[in-house]
Structure 1
Amino acid sequence: MECSTVVSAGEESTPDQVMEEGLIEATVEELEREMEQAKISFQNKTLALHRVQLMNALRTKLRKNDDDSKLILETIKRILMLSTAAIESQKQAREMEEKLNDIKRKRLSLKQAGEKKLLQIHTMKKKQKEELECIEVGEMLKRIRRNLQKETEMTTLIQNIFQSIIIGSRVNWAEDPALKAIVLQLEKNVALF
């Protein structure tokens, strides 16, 4: 039992141990990063060395001026021609992409302009419709006023005719209450209603 207590007490870590472990982990990670960078640097330097060695071997072979050197020279010329063609093709592809982007921008601007014009047309049509409705209401009111004016004139004319008939008949309308009410009613101006 005492042994297990001593062992468990030994397993507990102190804050100093935790800090040391964190420092060790950080150092390990930093060393791993440096090692990875060293590997990459080594690979790049090895590739550069291989290229230099290859170029040296090609120069040496070309100086011999035999059938193999002529074949190598033709191959190098062919590679240069193909590389130039590839570069030219890439340049043309970039120009085509720029033209395509310009066309897309123009299409977008035309689409936006078309949407604005469509909105303006819609707004103008709505405004014209409202104006037309106002004009129609105004025309209808004018017709109603004309009709009312004609009816008023007709009523006034009829009142005048009735008054002339009553006066022309020489009946004493003041004595008859019903006739008096009619005559007084006929004297009211219909235009004031």
Structure 2
Amino acid sequence: MIKSILLVGVGGQGTILASKLLTTGLMEAGYDVKMSEIHGMSQRGGSVSSQVRYGKIVESPVIELGGADILISFEKMEALRWLKYLKPSGRAIVNDFEIQSAPILSGKFDYPEGIVEELSNKIPTIMVNAAEQAEKIGNMKVMNIILLGATIKAMGLQDINWEKIIRDSVKENFVHINLKAIEVGMSLV
């Protein structure tokens, strides 16, 4: 059986790094894994998405509309934007975090109210306050790894050696904080 994970966020949130770590872990666990990423206007705070599909044999990295088993959203408005890609039986892990887009900052639009309630009414949703947890750890840049930890737990992937993957993938002086972040993320689910 093939599982499809859609990770979405805003440029600069570390969505692609989290996807690459997830892909590495799944490959080391023996799965056939395909990953694709779309950067869009990521350098300017635009939408970023990454699709990870794994199973015994995976022929395409692309998740079609209504094909994702799980949606991981690093910013809550992005969860609404990508919701149509989730299966009717799918679920979401959503960072309770807002990033003001250019139209919102310019005053043309307001940030939508009630996103959490809307998501919760439509699909099983795990809300994670990764910003609060990252602040407790001492580095806001580990929100992505906290969300990765939550994903690992929600998908039942704890048996993979994530410590080795973190040690092999991040700069030595950031290993400890990333290991702490992944542990915190797993504890939130």
TM-score band, normalised by shorter chain = under 0.3
Q: TM-score, normalised by structure 2?
A: 0.15
Normalized per residue, which structure has more strand? 2
Which structure: larger Rg?
A: 1
Flag the structure with more relative contact order, 1 or 2, with Cα contacts below 8 A and sequence separation at least 6: 2
Q: TM-score, normalised by structure 1?
A: 0.15
